[in-house]
Amino acid sequence: MKNQNDNATMSVATEDFSYCMVVNASAEETLKRIAQVDLWWAKKFSGKASELNDEFSVYFGGPADTFVDFKISEFIPGKKIVWLVTDCNLHWINDKKEWKNTEVIWTLTEKDGKTQVDFVHKGLNPEAECYESCKPGWTHHLKDSFVKLVDEGKGFPE
């Protein structure tokens, strides 16, 4: 008799990068702050990041021309916004287009005048080449800049 699992293959579960934070603002105000990308993530910013189908770009560094282009692919007022990466050039890794077609998902839950923000970069997982450098980068921008922008009115974009 053949064991049911004989044809099974082992797979390693991978988790996308996620970060959870609570800010002292309404969900509506928090969404406005998310859209102010140049005030918490990248000073070099073009486009709009506040409504469905908006497109925007962030730029980092000098001559290496690191950039990420996004399109807002989902928007639920007061609840959720999804940024789809439409193109990128991540100069410090071999696969410079690694983020292309990944999604940055912001899910908001408001309670008692505060908002819990669940952030997920879908596609950025331990198998990704830039995971080890991108994970602390996202953590810094979210914890040390985005939260301070919402709570104190001043972020620290690059």
Q: pLDDT category, 10, cuts 50, 70, 90? A: very low
Residue keyed to tokens 């104190």: 152
- pLDDT of 3 over the 80 cut: no
Q: What is the Cα–Cα distance from 115 to 13, expressed in whole angstroms?
A: 30
**Could you give all domains of the chain from N- to C-terminal order, each with its CATH number?**
16-152 (3.30.530.20)
pLDDT digit string (tens) for 34-88?
Answer: 999 999 999 999 999 999 999 999 998 765 689 999 999 999 999 999 999 999 9
pTM: 0.89
pLDDT digit string (tens) for 81-120?
Answer: 999 999 999 988 999 999 999 999 999 999 999 999 999 9
- Residue 88: the pLDDT is 96
- Residue 8: the pLDDT is 44
Please, which residues have CB within 8 angstroms of residue 121's CB and are 6 or more apart in sequence?
A: 16, 17, 18, 102, 103, 104, 105, 134, 138
Please, which residues have CB within 8 angstroms of residue 85's CB and are 6 or more apart in sequence?
A: 68, 69, 70, 99, 100, 101, 102, 103, 104
- pLDDT of 19 over the 60 cut: yes
